[in-house]
Chains A and B, each alone.
Chain A
Amino acid sequence: MTAVYDRVKGLLTEKFGVPEDDIKPEATFEDLDLDSLDLVEFAMATEEELGVGITDEEAEDLETLQDTVKLLESKGATV
């Protein structure tokens, strides 16, 4: 997986307390027990840590972690 994926994985375990074993590319936010409020916080965290945020419209189309990482990379996220 990419460096951005690893960084997102780190965010989820450290800031959101998601168990590391649950984090897989195909995992949905629901699988990770993250609700819509968590997603808003997650978007704030990506903006702070990766310099790229996620808009509410973009968030609606995200299903899996892989989608999320792709979106962040397409918006120029670097580690």
Chain B
Amino acid sequence: MSAATSSGQTAGSGQRTVPVAVTGLGLVTPAGIGVEASWEGVCAGKSAAATDPALEGIEVDFSCRIPNLDVAELLGRKAARRLDRFTQLGVIAAREAVADSGLDPETWDGARVGVVIGCGMGGAETWEAQHKRMLEHGPKRVSPMLIPMLVPNMVAGQLAMEFGARGPNLVTATACASGTTAIGVARDLLRSGACDVVLTGGAEAGLTPLSIAGFAQMHALSTRREDPERASRPFDVDRDGFVAAEAAGVLVIERVEDAAARRATVRAHLAGYGASADAHHITAPDPEGSGATLAMRTALDDAGLEPREVDHVNAHGTSTPLNDVAEAKGIRQVVGDHAAVTSTKGVTGHSLGAAGAIEAAFSVLTIQRGRIPPTANLDSQDPEIDLDIVAKEPRDGRVDVVMSNSFGFGGQNAVLVMTAA
């Protein structure tokens, strides 16, 4: 069904849309290092949450970290020293994505290659370490690397250096929707003709005592410290908050005609993007979900698809009491109740600005492989959530159209629609 619709009309504009292809994927997530390991991890449905020694003494002392990641080994000692962890993760994911795309940064026209990465927090680890240093040893001991390491745009700047990508280069910040926003903005750079290739996604590594204490004080986090593996439980009646995670996901996208011309393997099409704001509250979702539904509708219109054509929703599904009910209402309103819904955050936790990017990658893999990953820890579905949630085991079957939702504190909503190539 996607082939007939992906080259349709942009709603209201009367202009032909430019179909966009995903030709490369890269992932480094708590479910695994690399696309295959991450996919295997989310499909296994086992939560990556564990007690985190870096958070000792904090009310919430567990998180979802990337297991056994040796940055110095992967990137060299210089990058390990001079880049904050969120940028390191972005580079690791981007290298995999570029290699997967088959594009050669040695020969491409760098002026036509853009980079748009989402990041919610920036270099939180660096901020905290250097602040501590200043308090203990004075301002003359603050590292000259503080600013270049912490600014959130450095991940995009670093990818430009890494790959000679000299086109438009930016980082989007819409909190937990940042990765999704980035992919939408990147898609528009292809549609407008500003770029021929864009590396896009999200990177986040904010598992520090200060930021976790902050989230905990908001009562946004699960406090199930005696049983962290069961803490991230989207749509479950016993959910009590999200589990913070670190991750990066990068997609290589280009116009379908360009991908076809170079005979690239197209993993999926990026068919629709919708963005909106709640205009409601700094952190609470609009209880009517009107901002979220606006973004979902806009994304479907943009893709030229009807709600009944959506096979699957990769939900924002954070496992917070408020989000999951409001989102479920929104999905029911816009899409209906026929689509299979999952939240991969049960496994990965919530990687904030990276979340939308890794979930976009999971959506692409779901389409390619006809397999919907399960929502981990869904023992007893909240009776207020009247949707077909995929629980415990992956569900196999043809999936042509996926909607991927992301909603950020601040009321920013971003939704992508992916279709089979």
Contact = CB atoms under 8 A, between A and B. Distances in A.
B144 A17 contact: no
B80 interface: yes
Interface of B, secondary structure class, is helix
Interface in B106-155: 140-141, 143-145, 148
B219 interface: no
B81 interface: yes
Interface residues of A, number: 9
Contacts of A48: 141
Nearest to B143: A41
Interface residues of B, number: 12
A44 B78 contact: no
A17 B148 contact: no
Contacts of B281: none
A40 B77 CA distance: 18
A5 B367 CA distance: 60
A16 B72 CA distance: 12
Contacts, number: 21
B76 interface: yes
A9 to B, nearest CB: 15
A7 to B, nearest CB: 19
Contacts of B144: 37, 40-41
A33 interface: yes
Contacts of A44: 140-141, 143
A33 B145 contact: no
A17 B71 CA distance: 13
Nearest to A34: B78
Interface of A, secondary structure class, is helix
Contact of B77 (A17, A37, A41): A17
Contact of A33 (B78, B141, B148): B78
Contacts of B148: 37
Contacts of B72: 17
A41 to B, nearest CB: 6
B92 to A, nearest CB: 17
A16 B141 contact: no
B142 to A, nearest CB: 9
Contacts of A33: 78
Nearest to B72: A17
Interface in B385-414: none
Interface string A38-50: 0011001000100
B129 to A, nearest CB: 13
Nearest to B147: A37
Nearest to B81: A17
Contacts of A41: 143-145
Interface in B151-206: none
A48 B140 CA distance: 12
B149 to A, nearest CB: 10
Contacts of B143: 41, 44
A41 B78 CA distance: 13
A33 B76 CA distance: 13
Interface of B: 72, 76-78, 80-81, 140-141, 143-145, 148
11 contacts: A16-B78, A16-B81, A17-B72, A17-B77, A37-B144, A40-B144, A41-B143, A41-B144, A44-B140, A44-B141, A44-B143
Given A17-B81, A37-B144, A41-B145, 15 more contacts: A15-B81, A16-B78, A16-B81, A17-B76, A17-B77, A17-B78, A17-B80, A33-B78, A37-B145, A40-B144, A41-B143, A41-B144, A44-B140, A44-B141, A48-B141
